Amino acid sequence: MIFTLNLVPFRKPNETEQYKKLLSANYPYLKCACVKVVSWHGGGTDDVVTSDAEYLLGRVLEHFMEDGYRRLRNREIRNVKTFLRESTENLFKDILAERYGKDRSKERAREIGDIGLKIYELLRKGHTTDAIHNVLSADPGANHSWENVYRMVQRIRGSNALPPIDGGRVVPVSVDDGDDPDPSAFEVVDSRPNPEEIVVEQRKYELRRQVLDDLDAMLDDEGKAIIRLYYMERGGRRCTVGDIASYLGKTPKAADNKLRRILADFREYMVKKGLRPDDII
């Protein structure tokens, strides 16, 4: 069977290895997302943010690696970037719940009123106190001092901390110093195996094997030798009709005629089967 001896067996992609590569490729994004999520939902000093972000990153990686990357195997995931971001945020909420109990920031925002709920939504979108103050100040007739906005933000977060003071002057300080890139700046890699592509490749392999078996059965011993020589390379070049004729002890014209008949039979077979080269290659 001259065709199928060298046919590379079909093997499904190593999914575990592909999910491992997905996490590795998106590690910078996850690291940045952890810093942002902690800043947005936890706050605190730079040291606290850094410590919590490192802890969250460890939890995130463990979360995705559990049970052979079970969560990443979920076929319902449409957007990997959104999935990674939301999973990171939900995990940090779980961490906060473990430490302090259920997150009641929305209830605290509702107690403040409509302005509190607006601040709550802006916090969820990742706005800093400075940014929230700018948004609120843009409303017609609004008169919100930075200090007042700061106090509402802290109340919603469940903190009684007062604005930092320097010589009696309020110093607006954000946990986001602007040095870290925003998660949106990262291009997330989606290297998950595509089930549909795997099925297509497997069908191509099975069809290719059947076609090659059929073509092999169409040839006599001399025909098999001609085809083997026709596709053989010597010294970096394909064998010519003259090479084939010399090897078989035939005239070049006789070798060429038989090769043409074989190739014509192959084409006729493919047409009868309704196959194109793209169907098996």
SS (H, E, C) 81-137: HHHHHHHHHHHHHHHHHHHHCCCCHHHHHHHHCHHHHHHHHHHHCCCCHHHHHHHHH
CA dihedral defined by 103, 108, 113, 117, rounded to 10 degrees? -30
Identify which has the larger pLDDT, 277 or 84. 84
Q: Residues 59-116: pLDDT tens digits?
A: 888 888 888 888 887 766 777 888 888 888 888 878 877 776 777 788 888 888 888 8
Give pLDDT, residue 257. Answer: 92
Look at residue 253 in the predicted model and tell me its pLDDT: 92
As a whole number of Å, the CA-based R_g of the chain is 33
Query: Residues 213-255: pLDDT tens digits?
Result: 888 888 888 888 888 888 776 666 778 888 888 888 889 999 9
Report the range out of 51-65, 163-177, 265-279 with the highest average pLDDT: 51-65
- Model pLDDT, residue 12: 56
pLDDT digits (tens, 9 = 90+) for 165-190: 444 333 443 434 334 445 555 566 66
Tokens of 165: 């003071």
Would you state the structure tokens that stand for residue 50, as one six-digit string?
Answer: 């850094």
pLDDT in tens, 115-148: 889 998 888 777 777 888 888 888 877 788 888 8
pLDDT greater than 60 at residue 164: no
pTM of the model: 0.42
Place of tokens 């014209």: 253
> Which of 3 and 161 is assigned the larger pLDDT?
3
- The two tokens of residue 32 are 């940045």
* Token pair recorded at residue 236: 């970096």
Q: Using 50, 70 and 90 to split pLDDT, how confident is the model at 27?
A: confident
- The pLDDT of residue 238 is 76
Lookup: tokens for 241: 């009709």
| pLDDT value, residue 233 | 65
